[in-house]
Structure formats: structure tokens, C-alpha cells
Structure 1
Amino acid sequence: MESNEAGLPIVFVHGTRVSATMWRPVIHAIGRRHPTAAPDLPGHGKLRGEPFSLPGAVEAVAEAVDELGGRALLVGLSLGGYVAIATAGAHPDRVLGAVAMGCTALPRGLFGAVYRGVARLAAGHPQEADRLSAFAFRRVLSRAQAHAMVAGGLSCEATPGVVKAVREMDPLASLSAYPGPVWLVNGERDHFRRNERLFLRACRDGRLVIRPGCGHLTSLTDTTALTRQVLDAAAVVTARTYGSSTPEGAR
């Protein structure tokens, strides 16, 4: 768990096979403007070896929210986005808003079959898959971000459980159940954009943001732009939640 103190609380949720450390560059850029937390999900980071489940992931995020005072803005990428959506649907009273990145695809049909096949292959050869993932991060991300992606260890063996959980969840129902503001953020070249309009229609208070030229992971490359996006969402949520006043510790 990483945290600091000030402003509106923000909980960051990591993606598949990486850990909470992936968010270190953004958390460092935010500094003391907001209290932040980044929990490890089951099967990842410090919880590597535990079976992944969506209820377990939602519980980990809810616990992080509670540690920051009981209500927070959620920010998640890929698996983290799906978990953020599920947490918002399950605990709308504890989620002040959600920035869900790279997670607007329903892994069904051919897309789902490919997704499952890659996961099985990675789990069957986890050490090789971990090395390939680390190599890919170094190729497409900045040095600092690539280091953050691997700093907490990689867990490719967890991917089949993750894929199964995501396939079985109903993100559209979770979005429909959540009344708060949602930002659906996709890279222009992200293959997880395929159902973004369906996700947007499911939101009760949603907006779709497309990041030009970015793919699924390369949205992380420009830390300054990503941090600004998170801070802009936090400002909207702060204004809606507290009006002209500021949360305790922000002054």
C-alpha cells in the first residue's frame, strides 16, 4: 500500500500480471495534493500465489478506500478498470467517481477466445511469459514507467483466473447501478475499445475520453498528461462532493 495525505482520496488499481507499483510515477507526480493508495489484487504483487477472484479484488479496493477515510475516487487500467467498475457497482456509497481506462470490451466470442488462449499460454510458461512481458514494457514505455511495471514482480500464472473472472462479470450492470461520475478513458489504438459506446450508454453519469495515438499500455507513457487527467477528474468530484469547500486536509 502506498499513501500520502491531502485533498480528495484516490485509489489506483493495477492491471493483469503487474502490481500496485505500476502507478508509482503517477502517484509521485500527484505528490501531497491528494491522499493515494494502490493495493495489490489477489494473485499479484505481495498477494502472488493467492487465487484471483473478482470479489476478492473488490474487497482489496474497498479496504484501501476505507484506509483513506471511507470514500475515494478510483482509477484503474485494464483489469484495474474492470475492478474499479465492479467496486463502484458494489459499493456506490464508498466510490466518489471512477476513471476506468482500457476496459470497455466484453471478452466474448472470437475476442474472448483469443484472450483465453493467450492467458492459458502465459500460465503454461509463466517464467517465459514474465520475461516477455518485461521486454515488452521496456520497448513501449519510458524507462521509469517500465521499471514501475516490474518493480513488484510479474504474475503471468494468474492470467487464466483473471480472464475467467472478467468474462463472468457484468460491467454494464455495475455501471448501471452506479450513480456517480465515470470517465471511460481509451487509447485511440486500444483493442479494448470495441464496446466503448455500449459501456457509455450503461453509465448514468458517464463521459468517454479518447487519448490520440495511444494504445492499451502507452497511455501510461506521458505521466504528465495522465496525471493531469486524474487531477481533473478529482477536481470535478471534489466540486460535486464538497461544493465550494474542500475535504479535510486539503487546505
Structure 2
Amino acid sequence: MESSGAGLPIVFVHGLRVSGTMWRPVMQAIGKDRPTAAPDLPGHGSRRGEPFSTAGAVAAVVDAIDQLGGRALLVGLSLGGFVATATAGAHPERVLGLVAMGCSTRPSGLFAAAYRGAGRLAARHPREADRLSAFAFRRALSGPAGEALVAGGLSSGNASSVLTAVCETDLLASLSAYPGPVWLVNGERDHFRRDERRFLAACRDGRLLLLPGRGHLTVLADTGALAALVHDAAAVAAARTTAAAVAPGGLR
């Protein structure tokens, strides 16, 4: 698990095929004023070879939160956004805020069928899929951001089971169950933003941020801007936590 260590803790959740190293540039930009962690989900990175399930992924995130003191802001992209959202819905008492990036869609119909088909193909030819993914990641993101995506190794062999789990997860129910602040962050060109208005409507305390000119992966291109966005979300979450603690009936 990537980690650093005061301020409100932040747990970063990685995307499909990659590992917690994908968040290394953002964690470095945030610095040591806030404790951070980026766990590897089952079947990825240091846990390559383990079966993936939504429950197992949520458990990995909860374990990372507990290692940082028991409550944290969650930041996830793509698969990481799905898992972070599922964690917030299942364990709202542990999640001080949620930044869900590139995951504002309900996989269904032809959209889901296409991605499941791609997942099955990757599972049949994992080495070739890993090489193609590494090339695509470095092509989309040059420099440290691209290298961070591949630094922990790639895990294309489990893509089919991961995509099946994602398609079977009801993220709208998770958002409805979570009472804390939510930031839905999408690149303007990201195809995973097609249901963003429905996702926003499901949030009790949500806001939608659209990054002009960015795609699914290139939201990671401007590390400084992304770190600033996370800093701002952490500040809001910290302020609300403090306000709740001093309110009548709150923790003192």
C-alpha cells in the first residue's frame, strides 16, 4: 500500500488493471500535511492473483481508513470511484467525504456488453492486454503520471470478473445511503459521465465538477490542479466534521 503521513486523512482508490501507485504523483503534490494511503485492491498490484469482489475491495478500503485513524476522505477514479462510492454507502460513519471521478454511469445494455466483451478478451490474453494497456497509459499521460499508472504492474487477467462486479453494483443506492459531501468529478470528454445528472440527483449533498478538455485518464494530467481539488474537498470535509462535533448533541 502506498502511504505517507497531519490533517484530515485521505484514502485514494485506484482504477482497473493498475494499482495504488497510480496516485503517487498526486500524493506527493499533497505533501505530508495530510496522512494519505493508496491500497491495492484484490487482484491488483501487490494482491495480483487474488479474486476480485466488490465486498473484498470495500474491505481493502476500510482497512486503509482504519490504518489512518478510522475516518477519511475517499478519492477514487474509474473502478476506484465505483469502489469508493460503494464504501461510502456501506460505511458512512468512516467516510468524511467522497470524491468520485470518472464513474458517473450505470453500466447497462450495449455499453455494459461492450465492456464485458473487452474484459473477457483481456482475460484470455492477459500478457498482450497488459502490454497494450501500458502503451496506452503512457501515450495518454506522459511523464510521472503515466509511469505511476504502470509502476505497480498491470492486471488485465481479472478484467472480466471486475467488470461483472461493477455492473452488479448499485451505485445510485450507495450515493442515496451516504449523507456526507460528494464531489462527482468528470472529464468533459469522458464516456463514463453519461449518467452524471442521475448520480448528482441521488446525492444528499452533492456537487458536479466538469474538467474542460479532459478524458477518462487525462483528468490525472494536471497533478497540481487535481491535488488542489482534493485539498479543497478535504478542507470542506474537515470543516463539516468540526461543525458537527461542536453542534448540540455532537461529539465534544
Moved more, 119-128 or 64-73: 119-128
CA distance in 2, matches of 1:244, 1:28: 30
**CA shift digits 1:58-109 (9 cap, x unpaired):** 0000000000000000000000000000000000000000000000111100
CA distance in 1, matches of 2:188, 2:124: 32
Instruction: Describe the SS at the equivalent of 1:3.
Output: strand
CA distance in 2, matches of 1:3, 1:16: 20
In the TM superposition, residue 33 of structure 1 has moved relative to its aligned partner by 1.4
CA distance in 2, matches of 1:151, 1:178: 33
CA distance in 2, matches of 1:2, 1:41: 12
User: Is 1:46 the counterpart of 2:46 in the alignment?
Assistant: yes
AA of the residue aligned to 1:108: S
Moved more, 228-237 or 138-147: 138-147
Residue 228 of structure 1: aligned partner: 228
AA of the residue aligned to 1:118: A
CA distance in 1, matches of 2:76, 2:210: 15
**CA shift digits 1:37-66 (9 cap, x unpaired):** 100000000100001000000000000000
In the TM superposition, residue 178 of structure 1 has moved relative to its aligned partner by 0.4
AA of the residue aligned to 1:13: V
Residue 138 of structure 1: aligned partner: 138
Residue 67 of structure 2: aligned partner: 67
User: Is 1:105 the counterpart of 2:105 in the alignment?
Assistant: yes
In the TM superposition, residue 242 of structure 1 has moved relative to its aligned partner by 1.6
CA separation of 1:244/1:49 partners in 2, compared to 1, >3 Å: closer, same or farther?
Answer: closer
CA RMSD of aligned residues (A): 1.1
CA distance in 2, matches of 1:76, 1:187: 14
Q: Which structure 1 residue ranges, 5 or more long, are not aligned?
A: 246-251
Q: Which structure 2 residue ranges, 5 or more long, are not aligned?
A: 246-252
TM-score by length of 1: 0.96
CA distance in 1, matches of 2:61, 2:111: 28
Aligned residues: 245
Q: Could you list the runs of 4 or more consecutive aligned residues of structure 1 that deviate by over 3 angstroms after TM superposition?
A: none
Percent of pairs identical after alignment? 71
**CA shift digits 1:184-233 (9 cap, x unpaired):** 00000000011100111110110000000000000001001110100010
CA distance in 1, matches of 2:220, 2:121: 26
AA of the residue aligned to 1:195: D
User: Is 1:168 the counterpart of 2:168 in the alignment?
Assistant: yes
User: Is 1:96 the counterpart of 2:96 in the alignment?
Assistant: yes
Matching of residues 201-220 of structure 1 within 5 Å: 201-220=201-220
CA distance in 2, matches of 1:142, 1:6: 31
CA distance in 1, matches of 2:113, 2:32: 43
In the TM superposition, residue 158 of structure 1 has moved relative to its aligned partner by 1.1
In the TM superposition, residue 6 of structure 1 has moved relative to its aligned partner by 1.1
